[in-house]
Amino acid sequence: MGMPGSFRKLLSPLFALALTCNGAWAASPPSAAAIAIPGGEHGIGFDDMVYSPELRRFIIPAGQTGNLVLISPGSGALTVIAHVSDTTGAAGHGKGITSAAVGLGYIFAGNRSAQEIAIIDPRTNHVVARQPLAAAPDYVRYVNAQRELWVTEPGAEQIQVFQVHADDTPRLEPGDTIHVPGGPESLVIDDRRGVAYTNLWSNETLSIGLVGHRIVSHWPNTCTAARGLAMAPRTGLLFVGCKEGKVISMDPSDNGTILSTATAGNGVDIIAFDTSTNRLYVPGAHSGTLTVLSVAPSGRLKPQASYRTAVNAHCIVSDGNGTVYVCDPHQGRLLVIAPQTISNH
């Protein structure tokens, strides 16, 4: 995939070194670019970023800028939805808009500062409704089969569930509250199996029924500090990122059996799986690296490359078709990785 002309080429040594499969650093400057996010000149507290097949856009909550940014993976064109939050000023990823999901034609954006969900109509790029929350939100995910919105609230150790109504005026109807002592961290919806996955802060991954809203399984994940989750849609494999610098693959259909473990950079948080390449992308925020792993149908994880990114680059998103963005919080931009930059070994 060629990089769109609107992308600004990196002039710094980011991505200048690649770690070959034998463990030696080698000069290998892949085609990389950066997308500057408007208002991010002094940094943006990025956190959760998603790709919406429905809108065919990346959805980038721009933290304390108060804006939500939509990006076309083909052209790199940006749409800025302004004033979703009134929080401004330099801050970490605990301020403003930090997570979003799409359902029934609307965007649901979690606002940590105001403890609410903003409902946005992407046809007009305006906020059309707001729903108060019981506590500060973390992950926001839409459950298609039940037309529900799930919102994790780790400070209250719970997940709030809302029924989504999309009449003339969309609204959220409060439903069950799922209590998750010791969590929840991250959230992945598995529509095929009818469950959601989340982590406790250490050692365990949970499955929760989409119908009934009850925890049905506890699986040891060997993480000292469990963080991000990702899933391979075709195989159903689940991946867990561990802050201490590793990632594991597990089989939810076999009671969460651990299939493989691989090392990564220190400070793992959000991880991403790309369907088209069968690769797992694992940023290390403390090490400032991105580890790329191939995933076999058996779940075996095999290192392919490791790139220099940026300090505190802890979040990542893939469109499932080879385009991957890594957040660069200090520079307020996204680092772009094209699929041809990574060699198979």
Q: What is the pLDDT of residues 157-213, one digit of tens each?
A: 999 999 999 988 899 999 999 999 999 999 999 999 999 999 999 999 999 999 999
- Say whether both 32 and 64 belong to one domain: no
In a domain, 145, yes or no: yes
- Say whether both 26 and 49 belong to one domain: no
d(CA 335, CA 31): 11
- Say whether both 15 and 162 belong to one domain: no
- Say whether both 199 and 322 belong to one domain: yes
Boundary of a domain, candidates 127, 152, 179: 179
Q: pLDDT per residue over 225-259, tens digit each?
A: 999 999 999 999 999 999 999 999 999 999 999 99
- Say whether both 32 and 116 belong to one domain: no
Of 92-101, 174-183, 191-200, 273-282, which range is least confident? Answer: 92-101
Q: Given a cut of 90, is residue 20 above it in pLDDT?
A: no
d(CA 156, CA 162): 17
DSSP 303: E
- Say whether both 136 and 53 belong to one domain: yes
Q: Determine how many CB atoms are found less than 10 A away from the CB of residue 134.
A: 14
- Say whether both 58 and 21 belong to one domain: no
pLDDT given for residue 162 in this prediction: 98
- Say whether both 112 and 21 belong to one domain: no
Dihedrals phi, psi of 137, to nearest 5 degrees: -85, 155
Q: Given a cut of 50, is residue 31 above it in pLDDT?
A: no
In a domain, 1, yes or no: no
pLDDT given for residue 25 in this prediction: 32
The arithmetic mean of pLDDT across residues 129-137, rounded, is 97
> Is the separation of the CB atoms in 153 and 136 below 8 Å?
yes
d(CA 285, CA 43): 15
Q: Given a cut of 90, is residue 24 above it in pLDDT?
A: no
> Is the separation of the CB atoms in 269 and 281 below 8 Å?
no
The 3-state DSSP class for residue 108 equals strand
What's the number of domains the chain is made of? Answer: 2
Q: Given a cut of 90, is residue 87 above it in pLDDT?
A: no
d(CA 42, CA 275): 34
**Domain membership of residue 81 as a residue range:** 41-179
Boundary of a domain, candidates 134, 160, 179: 179
Percentage of residues of the chain with pLDDT beyond 90: 78
DSSP 203: S
Give the residues across from 58 on adjacent strands.
51, 71
d(CA 63, CA 44): 6
- Say whether both 30 and 136 belong to one domain: no
Nearest to 79 by CA among 57, 110, 52: 57
The arithmetic mean of pLDDT across residues 263-271, rounded, is 97
d(CA 333, CA 107): 22
In a domain, 144, yes or no: yes
Percentage of residues of the chain with pLDDT beyond 70: 86
Q: Given a cut of 90, is residue 75 above it in pLDDT?
A: no
- Say whether both 204 and 332 belong to one domain: yes
pLDDT given for residue 168 in this prediction: 81
In a domain, 115, yes or no: yes
pLDDT given for residue 342 in this prediction: 59
d(CA 37, CA 40): 5
- Say whether both 168 and 279 belong to one domain: no
d(CA 53, CA 321): 11
In a domain, 203, yes or no: yes
Tokens of 255: 């009671």
Confidence tier at 4 by pLDDT (50, 70, 90): very low
- Say whether both 306 and 186 belong to one domain: yes
d(CA 147, CA 227): 26
Q: Determine how many CB atoms are found less than 10 A away from the CB of residue 163.
A: 14
The arithmetic mean of pLDDT across residues 69-79, rounded, is 92
d(CA 269, CA 274): 17
CATH code (residue 92): 2.130.10.10
Please give the mean pLDDT across all residues of the chain.
88
The arithmetic mean of pLDDT across residues 299-307, rounded, is 94
pLDDT given for residue 74 in this prediction: 81
In a domain, 279, yes or no: yes
pLDDT given for residue 247 in this prediction: 98
Q: Given a cut of 50, is residue 301 above it in pLDDT?
A: yes
In a domain, 3, yes or no: no
In a domain, 2, yes or no: no
Boundary of a domain, candidates 145, 179, 213: 179
Interacting residues of 106 by C-beta distance below 8 A, sequence separation 6+: 119, 120, 121, 122, 128, 166, 170
Write the burial class of residue 279 (CB in 10 Å: 0-12 exposed, 13-18 middle, 19+ buried): buried
